[in-house]
Chain A
Amino acid sequence: MSQRAAFLNRLRSRLPQAKLPEADPNHPSSFRGYTFAADIPPADLVDRFTQELNALAGQVYSAKTSQEVTKIIRQILNKHGAKQLISWGSDWLEPRQLVATLTAAGIEIVDSELPVIAADRKVKLTALDKIKVGLTGAHGALADTGAIALISGPGRGRLASLLPPVHIAILPQQKLYPSLPAFLAAHHEATTAGSNLVFIAGPSRTGDIEMTLTMGVHGPGELYVILTP
């Protein structure tokens, strides 16, 4: 018998003796009690998102044109004395001409594909670790928690939002959702489009030493979200 069959058979033999209060034979189906729609009217989504993310020490900017977006990104790069970015591909950043504008402004977007060979991969990672700023788009954001949602895939690596100490995400306003359940209901591709779906709510933090809040322990210590029309 295969390991799997033996494992599952063992469970089947135990289940009849299991004392399982309130176990329904049918799946309990959808939870319909969410109040988020009543809580956050669409007009308030931006304000609520901004307020929640600020409370988590993330910063929110608003930009109307790709020039404005570029300007904000350059300010952040200058603050860190940086000229390079780990970035998502141009197809995944809005406005579409952004990568071209950035390159024209003298900003280099480094290649961040990880090789399959273990040794080469380590060399590449060590080089990428020197880059100070990462740039991504976002598939959505949750107004009730201040989290942004990123789905990995071709041209959409995980490292841009993970390895550098600073993460900038560009988020078109119409991608704001009231909450996590609302986002999941609207994005059935969330777990099929790529190997990773991540919700990011503010900069990396820890309270492990004497419960003292400290930012940037493993992930980025600074998070900027640029809202675009």
Chain B
Amino acid sequence: MAVSNVTFYERVEEALHDRQLQTALDISTTRFTTGRQNALAALPEAEALRDHARRIRAHTIAHLDRYLAQFADSVERVGGQVHWAETAAEANQIVAELALSRNVKNVVKSKSMVSEELHLNQTLEANGMKVVETDLGEYIAQLAGEKPSHIIAPVIHKTRQDVADLFRRKLQATDADLADVPHMTALARRVLRSEFLQADMGISGANFAVAETGSICLVTNEGNGRLTTTTPRLHVALLGMERLVPTLEDLGVMLQILARSATGQKTSVYTNIITGPRRTTAGQPIEPDGPDELHIVIIDNGRSQILGSELAEILYCIRCGACLNACPVYQQIGGHAYNSVYQGPVGSVVTPGLYGLDPWHELPQASTLCGACREVCPVRINIPRMLLKLRSETAEAGLNPDWLKRGLRLYRQTVVRPGWYHLGGQLTSWLSRKIADNGWFKKLPGPLSGWTDHRDFLAPAKKSFSQRWREEREQ
């Protein structure tokens, strides 16, 4: 994965100063978190369902080899073809060869995070194909040449004016087309509909795959997932290897909590469960429509690395996005600052897990360890535990910046010596009276400025706790 030369902290700075982004984040994260709460509160069995969903995911990951083999057999039994890709390069090659051998020119895609991991669009475009994202948000991001900034709402960082300007530039939209959001949406529908009708290949991801039946499940609200997997004669589904559940009934359990956790909907509009290509007898189709070929590419791309480690629990994730919306850090900095396909708390574990700590060691620091992510996670993943693990690995590998290393060394030397510790306390208290404004720091110097750039910081009390303790006891 490409690592940008702008640092994490520079991207955070930029996000914090982006007024539009700040408003969008406030509205969206509040709406999603309250929606989630209400939807789960209306489901009496919600807590027990979450426990059960966790057990299903844990059991599946622990026997992933067995369930993947069963899934592949099931797919082949219903006439689908299965491909195995260890790396992104292998996956890209498999899809490109499929497309080239079938003379594919036009490709439509419904949202797939795995494909972003692979940079599949670039590969197909380099082979002369036209690739169009069809989820409205992803389409807007593609037109703008940007990356999605949220798992569920890819362009929450854009205003309708931004989108109108973009449509005017890229789609020659008229004033009538841009009158309001419904008109803009109608324009996008027309443009994308003609892409669907002309597409030779549809590429989708999968929210889940069912080992017992060989089905894949895609949930969408727009219906682009259904069109992508119905109009082209060739359907290629990209499946991250961990996305399995053993049975159709288990899928039912997951679906009961997925939309509720993601957007606060009771259900997504379309829950699309695909089992094989369109049915045939004696080589002749017996179903009126659906793709004539279904290829499922099972992708590792670093996941087995995560599996054999302390981070394996993150593979229970069902990509609902709830931990993003609940995270006080994400709420402030949004998705782009993470510079990765996977953002927020889940991304801070997955990204270093997939690509290594070295370029990504800042992400596990982007957390207050408040535990909100674990609280809202439908499968109760202990994200803070893994963030701490990654932080300690960062320290052991000597990846922390020098000021932090020196600061921590000084801190350690101080706190183990009571005399130094008291002296330090008194010094801080004296200093704070000098520079605090009504008990608050408005601006701290040097490396401490990070605490006060975007908010005030409470100054320490005049008397330390131990001082007061002593005084109370003497009374």
Contacts and interface: CB of A to CB of B under 8 A. Distances in A.
A162 B181 contact: no
B253 A154 contact: no
Interface in B273-310: 273-279, 285-290, 292, 294, 298, 300, 304-305, 307-310
Given A3-B84, A28-B59, A21 B159 contact: no
A20 B62 contact: yes
A47 interface: no
B307 A205 contact: no
A209 B55 contact: no
Interface in A205-229: 205-212, 214-220
A191 interface: yes
Contacts of B84: 3-4, 6-7
Interface stretch (B115-123, B227-235, B326-334, B355-363): B227-235
**Which range contains the number of A residues in contact with the other chain?**
35 or more
Contact of B160 (A10, A155, A204, A210): A210
Contacts of A21: 58, 313, 382
Interface string B60-78: 0111110011001000001
A118 interface: yes
B468 interface: no
**Which range contains the number of B residues in contact with the other chain?**
35 or more
A196 B54 contact: no
Interface in B137-194: 137, 140, 153-156, 158-160, 163, 181-182, 184-186, 188-189, 192-193
B40 interface: no
B312 A19 contact: yes
B275 A197 contact: yes
A204 B61 contact: no
B160 A209 contact: yes
Interface in B24-81: 24, 27-28, 31, 44-45, 48-49, 52, 54-56, 58-59, 61-65, 68-69, 72, 78
Interface string A181-213: 100110000111011111111111111111110
Interface in B360-410: 382
A50 interface: no
A179 B153 CA distance: 27
Interface of A: 3-4, 6-8, 10-28, 30-31, 33-35, 39, 52, 56, 112-114, 116, 118, 121-122, 125-126, 129, 142, 144-145, 147, 152-159, 162, 179-181, 184-185, 190-192, 194-212, 214-220
Query: Can you list the 10 inter-chain pairs with the closest CB atoms, starting with the nearest?
Result: A219-B223, A14-B308, A157-B288, A208-B137, A23-B62, A218-B223, A18-B312, A23-B58, A28-B55, A199-B271
Given A17-B309, A19-B313, A184-B248, 11 more contacts: A11-B64, A14-B308, A25-B62, A27-B247, A153-B279, A159-B288, A195-B278, A195-B290, A198-B273, A201-B271, A218-B192
16 contacts: A3-B84, A20-B58, A27-B56, A33-B52, A35-B44, A116-B292, A147-B271, A153-B287, A155-B288, A191-B248, A196-B272, A201-B269, A206-B221, A208-B137, A210-B159, A219-B222
